[in-house]
Chains A and B, each alone.
Chain A
């Protein structure tokens, strides 16, 4: 048996691939559910109803999807240009803490309409800075950014931990390490009353369309794609490689920082070290599931959020471990990678 490169990829194949991958992942997860002693199809049904069965659960799933869309876009944009930003988690936290601090100290009292956009800028900027450092190291000294961005996650998280147990600590929190609450005017308006769902979801979806437009229609989009696919070819065609990567890093880091900002302004109102259940890392999975397509990121983020919320509910009602959600998401990523491979290669005997 051997693999041969496909000459043409049909649109049908490109669309069917992720769907088949998800079905395959659910089928394998089914074996595990059966092994845990629960009826498989009832469990699938429970996943669906736990994620979308009530108004509460549906809004909860969408609330979870919002930061995933943004961190997914952050990874997708960077990976497209072969900038391996694994530091989404750190950029997320830095964006969150920068926005929280700015709201509590700098912009407190400003009206919502002014304060919220300002905080978005501050949070995105913090994320950008955290990615520009490893990019500078790469461009100047050829340091592999996979390592630097990954390690900076821990630096960022410990830095945030230091701040919320120190200068930014909330005196009214009975000694718990958490930041001061953001200004009331900085809280994001709800999309639906009596739910946690905030306008962050709408913002994330609009940004996804924006990124799609930039990547497919603009000079910068074509150039950054060329830079990612073949750097020396891009240089020959006059693409400014360094500048393109800097802009890509600013977009990617900015999006991850914005994700943190939106999460803190939209959901909790203050920063703790468990603000993110790994949104930065899951963003990488979301981007890969979407095959780096910005519009696909929205769907992949929805799927991932569904699995997390749904499997949570299923495990509670059926008495099987919650890890099934992690396993299913991981399995769908693996089967997606295999499926993407088969859209590019065919099997020959």
Chain B
């Protein structure tokens, strides 16, 4: 390795009873990409917050280019050339790109703002690293991928030599993620050093030179990319062997849900355009597509939160008017929302209240909530679905993402629904939790539940679905059998190439 630019030595940090970082050491060379791999709660973000001066470590030190940084001083870290790209961007949507980038770089006491120099520098950086943006665009008008580019440019504008990216792909589509990786590699070639935090094995293997694995606050391994494999990393990260479950062959039953020519129009735009699909008992139908192509509207339609403008929705052989949430729940449709924090849970309410909120009629008598029955119901879910980290009366916000998702799965699956609508069920979960969620979905399929799986994750859809349809610009392709397609064909379908295809049976 060449010269060391960053040296983290024996850092420990304790929060109450929780040892978030236990004696971790990490060094980074010039032009190197290191990945910090670990499950949620392994201590990755804590370590980076210490590096960036957000937290003061209990013991240990951080030095950049041989100089020890004073603890707890983000400004010193920035000045030493450390740049941070947060998972949740620290940008102002009402300002332009240039204004966002220049914020904090000029003294508050100077009268004028040297905009033209700033613009020149921004354009120069953006050309050098191939990060194309319009300096005068309003940030709020940009896509998430472009906003992230601005966040990176902001760090580079501050002359960062070391760039830390916290779960950079969590908010990106697959295509945007690939662009990002090639940019990162290009930056490393130009002499920048990068650390990126992730729990996704594929991207770590594809991008990093060196991988440091954290588990439970401790550094469990350090590997060169060439010397390891996804299987080994997964085991190191989780601490035991994890295998994603595999779908067994089955024969589907009768059609339980059929959409014929459904159009949903809102804000003057057709969000769904005359879509057709049929869902049969005991099968998983995968709807795949790049985000923003109508998946969210499809999920809302079947969840009962929006109505349709045209077409027929036939549920268990019966048509009818708009599906409401109450109809959906009472007729046995389990619903897993795309965004569990926004739609799936009321963070400040108790776990049991979250468990029964959508089925209050069942858990109340004469308008009074049956608290005892609700708590018993939540206890059954917690036990049956291995939800850890909370009791029925504690607030649901205290659960980790994986455990919250298990609770949401549980409240839907415990009563054996006839249909399960799962929108991005494994998004943002770590490897262990993904396997658990997949297992539950396949179990439900085996028990005869018809599953509609909406996902952007090719691997997930290929592993779980019997049939697959692609959604592009609000249109739905004919279905194909999962056995008959490969990733390449699915990629073409996601790009809208399905001319001449007919429904598979």
Q: Give residues in A with beta carbon < 8 Å to B.
A: 2, 4, 7-8, 217-223, 225-226, 229-230, 232-239, 349
Contacts and interface: CB of A to CB of B under 8 A. Distances in A.
Choose among A219, A221, A230, A233 the residue with the greatest number of B CB atoms under 10 Å from its CB.
Answer: A233
Given A8-B394, A235-B325, 15 more contacts: A217-B368, A218-B367, A219-B360, A219-B364, A220-B367, A226-B353, A226-B357, A229-B349, A230-B347, A232-B342, A235-B305, A236-B305, A236-B337, A238-B304, A238-B326
B324 interface: yes
Closest 9 CB pairs of A and B: A238-B325, A236-B343, A237-B358, A237-B357, A230-B346, A233-B346, A219-B364, A229-B348, A226-B346
B21 to A, nearest CB: 15
A229 to B, nearest CB: 5
Contact of A217 (B324, B335, B357, B369): B369
B458 interface: no
A75 B335 CA distance: 35
A119 to B, nearest CB: 28
Given A230-B347, A233-B344, A236-B303, A222 B398 contact: no
Interface string B1-34: 0000000000000010000000000000000000
18 contacts: A218-B367, A218-B368, A218-B369, A219-B360, A219-B364, A226-B346, A226-B353, A230-B346, A232-B342, A233-B344, A234-B346, A234-B357, A236-B325, A236-B337, A236-B358, A238-B304, A238-B324, A238-B325
B180 interface: no
Contact of A233 (B15, B335, B345): B345
B236 interface: no
Does more than half of chain A's interface fall in helix, strand or loop, or is it mixed?
helix
Contacts of B364: 218-219
A234 to B, nearest CB: 7
B329 interface: yes
B369 A230 contact: no
A236 B304 CA distance: 8
B56 interface: yes
B72 to A, nearest CB: 9
Interface of B: 15, 54, 56, 303-305, 324-326, 328-329, 335, 337, 342-349, 353, 357-358, 360-361, 364, 367-369, 371, 394, 398
Contact of B342 (A4, A221, A230, A349): A230
Contacts of B347: 229-230
A233 B342 contact: yes
Contacts of B361: 219
Contacts of B326: 238
Contacts of B303: 236
Contacts of B367: 218-220
B349 A226 contact: yes
A349 B56 contact: yes
Contacts of B15: 4
B290 to A, nearest CB: 23
Contacts of B329: 238
Contacts of A4: 15
A142 to B, nearest CB: 14
A349 B15 CA distance: 12
A37 B92 CA distance: 50
A262 B86 CA distance: 56
Most buried by A among B56, B324, B367: B367
A221 B360 CA distance: 11
B437 to A, nearest CB: 19
A229 B369 CA distance: 19
Nearest to A234: B346
B346 A238 contact: no
Given A230-B347, A235-B305, A223 B342 contact: no
Contacts of A220: 367
B298 to A, nearest CB: 15
Contacts of A235: 305, 325, 343
Contact of A219 (B54, B304, B369): B369
B29 to A, nearest CB: 32
